[in-house]
Structure 1
Amino acid sequence: MDVGAGRSLTSVLKDAVTRSNMLTARWAATIGDGEPTVLSGAGVWPLLAYLASAAEGAERAELEQALGMPAAPAVEAATELLDLLRSATGTHAALGLWVHRVLRLHDEWLQTVPADTVEVLAGGDVFDAWVRKHTEGLLDGVSMPLDPDTLLVLAMVLTVRTRWEKPFLDGTQGIADGPWAQRQFAWLHRWTEDRDRLAVYETEHGQVTVLSVDGVADITVDLVLGEADVPAGTVLAAGITAPDAGGPRRLGSQLTDADAPGLRLESNDARTAPVLIASVPRFTVSRGHDLLADGELFGLLAVARPDRQRLPRMSDTALAVGAARQELTASFTAEGFEAAAATRFDIMLGGGLPDQWRDDVAVEFDRPFGFVVRHRPSGLVLLAGWVTEPDPPLPVREFSRGDDDDF
């Protein structure tokens, strides 16, 4: 199966998609009815894989439970999933790793992370600038201050952008009854002869109506409506799982009665081809999530306890997850759809303060300095120089990993 940009859906990538979707569905099932929300399991799953590869014992097992697979194959799957999101038409993804200069990481773990992601941790402003760059301004950062004790930040950004194959018409519509009764909203209307863009799925929690809206890129947005008395989380989770579950369904061309959520019948001239009339509200939804508040869902309960070393395969320094948050926004308009998600894990010192301290030698060339280039076998000085004006700062995300042993 081709998934865009000449890529095929390998067994590893197929597993990653399945497990990430399962996490998204479990997360969706937890949402309440009272507030709008948007969430992305695909923006969390790869980060959990990299964390799992750094953990051992109970911490590793808990993260593997959330991932749905062992840590070792999960890292490979996460890397393939990131590659897919980077190369697919309509999506963009970036992984970032910021490391405090005093923290030494194990090479074996660091080599699991793409080399072009590593930077020196130098304050939260750098991270927010990275988010703004990779979301093209859709997000301004993550609303979580950077704790001074943070030694490492692991983050991911995901964006989705597409224009509809057939745009909607903008309008205004009032609602007669239901929770939006006596209110008016910006409304979108479209007619299509492809009535099978609509499907009704039979689920254990009643019928779920799904309208699929295709973009010109490799993106489809499914709009999901359930029975009026079914909780929002149950409906959303069904909208994620039902299309691939193989259960009973009726397509739009098979519907003859208004017997499912959101359906109605309209009488029109029989001499013309039947059409599907779609009317949906224009919307923008933004939300932030404290991932540690749902630590059991994401496998973060044990790894977030700071009483001892939780990530021994990452560093000899005792580390634990100190904070984790996802920030998102999504907009559905007459012309298309765009969304962005930024997820950040802050790794802090674990195990309390050390009983003993050591003094490490550090050097910083913070004034004009010289350099000498030698042919090592012979000792011949090839050239020498003096630096009075270092280079200006690199643009955000263009730092080079190089061969620095500290990373």
Structure 2
Amino acid sequence: MSAAKANALTATWASRSPGAVFSAAAVYPLLALLASVASGRARLELSAVAPQTMRLPVRSALGLWTREGVPLTLDWAARADPRLTGDPLIDRPLLDAWAAAQTGAPVPPLPFTAADPDTVVLAAALAVTADWVIPFTDGVLRPAAGPWAGRRLASLHRRDPDLTALRAVKSPSAVVTLLTVRGTADIDVVLCTAAGAAPPPDVLATAVETFATAPVARKGPGITSALVDAADPAPELVVKIPRFAAAATHDLLRSADVFGLRAAAETALFPGISDEPLRVATAAVSAAAAFTAPGFRATPVTRAPVVPVTLAPPPATARALRVTVRFDEPFGYLAVHRPTGLVLLAGWIDDPEPAR
């Protein structure tokens, strides 16, 4: 299944160098397309990473671009994107406008560098949007310990009756807590954290590999449980999360082996594109994400002032189980397409938004 292979690419990317936001899902269809028009070692390497074609279930911008002057096969010429001139002042705005038009949202600028005449450029951008089924309330989080101790962070709080959203799993180095925040448009966001000095690549890769199978938990990093006086005896899950926004553009050729682009970045044969030897001169993906009170936005959002909110508790008439999970030290996240299990976006947050 292509979703499983795309998630495997996400896990590999996460285990190497997880950034604030990245998307292997946006890259995978391009790699599969490039494999279908390549031959020799380039085809073998690309097919090992992306053996099957896949259509993304969200709006995206995916394109293989060639320079003017590259002779194209009749089939490729019939479906090729507009040709690039090789002048960054012309081509960079062209790529940015194309990405915004395809995704329907502003995205970080795609990098473009002048390259040799006989080249192929891979470009991808992704937009993911979902409203929370249960919205959050803006507030302030003050971690008492850890790397964020003493900081006042813009945070999101909510109460959730579904305790099965909280899970935990053992990674090679630590126990990882996973929280699934359910959204509309078939999108969930899975948050992951581990205590102490657990390596972020290990935590995030573990989340990618286990978010669908990890068991429900009442214990784990950031989790506390207690019986409290309440008006309703039903158990509840209290969630406290720093608000965050992130944007990044990644040069895939810096880790060409991860994406099967080692041979393709050298002079290679792509008979499905041209009879001339070509090489992938630029391969980049841009993504942006924001975790806000009403929902998840894969674009920067307008920020509103944050004020502490105090709620008067209802009169206590019973005892109830209250499970609280706090993400008050660096954590990771995954944006997941619920029906297929495809990880659309992932990232690691180590510097959340301060409270105003």
Residue number in structure 2 paired with 1:284: 245
SS of the aligned residue for 2:42 comes to helix
- Aligned pairs for 1:5-404 within 5 A: 15-31=1-17, 36-67=19-50, 69=51, 74=52, 77-78=53-54, 81-82=55-56, 85=57, 91-107=58-74, 115=79, 118-122=81-85, 123-124=90-91, 125-147=93-115, 149=117, 151-244=119-212, 246=213, 249-252=214-217, 255=218, 259-269=219-229, 272=232, 273-305=234-266, 308-339=267-298
Q: Which has the higher contact order (CA 8 A, sep 6+)?
A: 2
Which aligned segments of 4 or more residues in structure 1 are displaced greater than 6 angstroms? none
Q: Are 1:63 and 1:299, in contact at CA under 8 Å, matched by a contact in 2?
A: yes
Q: Are 1:201 and 1:250, in contact at CA under 8 Å, matched by a contact in 2?
A: yes
Q: Which has the higher helix share?
A: 1
SS of the aligned residue for 2:96 comes to helix
Cα distance 1:285–1:329, how it changes in 2: closer, same or farther (>3 A)?
A: same
Q: In 2, distance between residues paired with 1:201 and 1:289?
A: 29
- What residue identity is the alignment partner of 2:63? G
- What residue identity is the alignment partner of 2:23? S
**Structure 2 residue runs without a partner (length 5+):** 301-356
- What residue identity is the alignment partner of 1:326? V
Q: Are 1:163 and 1:216, in contact at CA under 8 Å, matched by a contact in 2?
A: yes
Task: Give the deviation of 1:216 after TM superposition.
Answer: 1.8
- What residue identity is the alignment partner of 1:251? V
Q: Are 1:203 and 1:242, in contact at CA under 8 Å, matched by a contact in 2?
A: no
Q: Are 1:121 and 1:152, in contact at CA under 8 Å, matched by a contact in 2?
A: no
Task: Give the deviation of 1:188 after TM superposition.
Answer: 0.5
SS of the aligned residue for 2:223 comes to coil
Q: Are 2:122 and 2:283, in contact at CA under 8 Å, matched by a contact in 1?
A: no
Q: In 2, distance between residues paired with 1:132 and 1:150?
A: 27
Q: Are 2:178 and 2:191, in contact at CA under 8 Å, matched by a contact in 1?
A: yes
Q: Are 2:123 and 2:285, in contact at CA under 8 Å, matched by a contact in 1?
A: no
- What residue identity is the alignment partner of 2:168? V
SS of the aligned residue for 1:26 comes to helix
Q: Which has the larger radius of gyration?
A: 1
Cα distance 1:105–1:283, how it changes in 2: closer, same or farther (>3 A)?
A: same
TM-score by length of 1: 0.67
Question: What's the % identity of the aligned pairs?
Answer: 35
Q: Are 2:36 and 2:272, in contact at CA under 8 Å, matched by a contact in 1?
A: yes
Equivalent pairs counted in the alignment come to 294
Q: Are 2:103 and 2:126, in contact at CA under 8 Å, matched by a contact in 1?
A: yes
- What residue identity is the alignment partner of 1:301? R
Task: Give the deviation of 1:20 after TM superposition.
Answer: 0.6
Task: Give the deviation of 1:229 after TM superposition.
Answer: 2.4
Q: Are 2:63 and 2:124, in contact at CA under 8 Å, matched by a contact in 1?
A: yes
Residue number in structure 1 paired with 2:345: none
SS of the aligned residue for 1:325 comes to strand
SS of the aligned residue for 1:96 comes to strand
Deviations 1:38-75 (A, max 9, x none): 111101111111111222221111112222x3xxxx2x
Task: Give the deviation of 1:186 after TM superposition.
Answer: 0.2
Q: Are 1:171 and 1:189, in contact at CA under 8 Å, matched by a contact in 2?
A: yes
Task: Give the deviation of 1:337 after TM superposition.
Answer: 0.5
Task: Give the deviation of 1:286 after TM superposition.
Answer: 1.6
- What residue identity is the alignment partner of 2:28? W
CA RMSD of aligned residues (A): 2.4
Q: In 1, distance between residues paired with 2:76 and 2:46?
A: 16
- What residue identity is the alignment partner of 2:84? L
Task: Give the deviation of 1:192 after TM superposition.
Answer: 1.2
Q: In 1, distance between residues paired with 2:221 and 2:148?
A: 16
